[in-house]
Amino acid sequence: MFRRSTFSMSIVVLAGRLALAQDVPPAKAAASPEAIQIAQAWALLAQGDSGRAATLAANLLVQYPRNVSILALAIEADVARTGAMAGLDTYERWLGARKLEDGYALRRVARALLRDALQNHAAGPARLDALKALAADGDAAARSELEKAAFGGNAPEAGILASLGDARGVNILVAQLNSTQGVKTRAIGALAESHSPLAIQALLPVLADSSPENRAAAADALGKLRATQAIPRIKPLLEDKNFTVHLLAAGALYRLGDMSGANFLQELQGSEHAGLRLSAAEATSSSPDPNWQNLVRGLVLDTQPEIRIRAAQLIAPYDPELARTTLEKVLGDENIGIRQLASTVYVQHVAGDFALLRRFLRNADPQIRAQAGGRILELTR
């Protein structure tokens, strides 16, 4: 009897000790020295002391050059202290002779640059490009600003909203299309970019508009929207007396798989005028067979820089190196419009590596900088 009681007591004591042991929290590992200093620097940044935070981050980056969390901290601190270009300077100093870029560190620079564009170019195209890039990247503040402007009747913002797949933006554009007199090509082009079925019904009546600019733009937009139901209503435009209407109607039908205007386009491909050959190449770009590619390769050698640039854009998906070398030759053109067009095509259709895009982040044109920032966000999503 005594032995049983002693055994039972031993079990109770052991159970008690185990219970007490479970209540004791495990010993915590001590934070590393750099982790403590990183936390201090972020705290300084949160308190608005970007100067001290930047100094601490710079010192840490010297000690721990391979720690990307310190790199991110250093970029944020320099952006807060001086601006986006300071963040880019920090990134490029860190990069040095390294061959491997850090896309997510560069993304921080790109977002800062785009926010700068929103603040510093209130009414310019750079602001619109920045707004679109940030909203597409999930930036809630940019999306809110975009919606506020679009619902307030601003056509450019409504077009951007529609291009991001927002049905409300498409409906705003449709309302503007129906209420606007005269040339409506801006709204028509934005509806084409929306890729929305809602746009098709709104564009069909425009094929009979009194303005040739509107008829041509509507036919082109319906082709881009893959609106095969529009084929019977586009075909009569092949008899239109306006050349541009005829051309874009033929191109739209070609894109929709209807060859009614193919002979006309083939004639243009053999024209002695490079501009007409380019128009035909653009109209038939949905079928980039070897003959089409040879046509475009010939156009990148044309004497007119604008034709070379547009041809480079067409050939870029199939021969990016040819597109790159073609555009490099016109980036220094004396005509600012040519330089801007070449830069835009380069950023949006050719540049796929961060080294090239960093060049354009330093471009003198704020719109080109915004486009390069947007491209970086796109590549790192």
Q: Residues 53-91, buried b or exposed e (16+ Cβ, 10 A)?
A: bbebbbebbeebeeeeebbbbbbbbbbbbeebbbbbebb
Look up residue 50 and give its two tokens: 């970007």
What pLDDT does 25 receive? 59
Question: Is-contact 114 373, C-beta < 8 A?
Answer: yes
What pLDDT does 155 receive? 86
10 has pLDDT over 80: no
Nearest to 367 by CA among 196, 174, 114, 4: 114
pLDDT band at 28 (very low <50, low <70, confident <90, very high): low
**Distance separating alpha carbons of residues 82 and 54, to the nearest angstrom:** 10
In percent, the amount of the chain with pLDDT more than 70 equals: 91
307 has pLDDT over 70: yes
Q: Check residues 224 and 29 and name the one with the higher pLDDT.
A: 224
User: Region 257-273: what's the mean pLDDT?
Assistant: 96
Global pTM reads 0.83
**Distance separating alpha carbons of residues 9 and 16, to the nearest angstrom:** 11
